[in-house]
Amino acid sequence: MVALIGVAMAVAIRAVLASFGIDLDFAPFIPAILFASLIAGVPAGGFTALSAVVIFWWAYIPLAFEFSPLEAGDIDRIQLFLLAVSVLIWFSHLCRIIARMRAE
């Protein structure tokens, strides 16, 4: 549930920013992934990251609202995003472990 709420909020923020002419590819999804990873764990963070990639591919890569073939630049952006959020999810996992150790 946390992951779905985070994805919905990130898509809404991305749409509002796009209406003002600000094109931030994956930036609104990063706080949602961090929030989902810290609250619900690694599976929720991974689901949020993969959902962000699918939504970005479907809605924001031309032709909009179609799964069109990806160009080399799009593949590079997606790979860099997945690399960055995998480190973010791992960091969130370590934070959750440390919080559990301190609670004991």
What DSSP string describes 2-20?
Answer: HHHHHHHHHHHHHHHHHHT
Q: Is the pLDDT of residue 25 over 90?
A: no
- Whether the model clears a pTM of 0.85, i.e. scores above it, the answer is yes
The mean pLDDT value for 64-71 works out to 91
Q: 54: how many CB neighbours lie within 10 A of its CB? A: 12
Q: Is the pLDDT of residue 86 over 90?
A: yes
pLDDT at position 75: 95
* Distance in angstroms (rounded) separating the CA atoms of residues 13 and 35: 15
Mean pLDDT of the chain: 94
CB 45 within 8 A of CB 4: no
Q: Is the pLDDT of residue 23 over 90?
A: no
The mean pLDDT value for 18-29 works out to 91
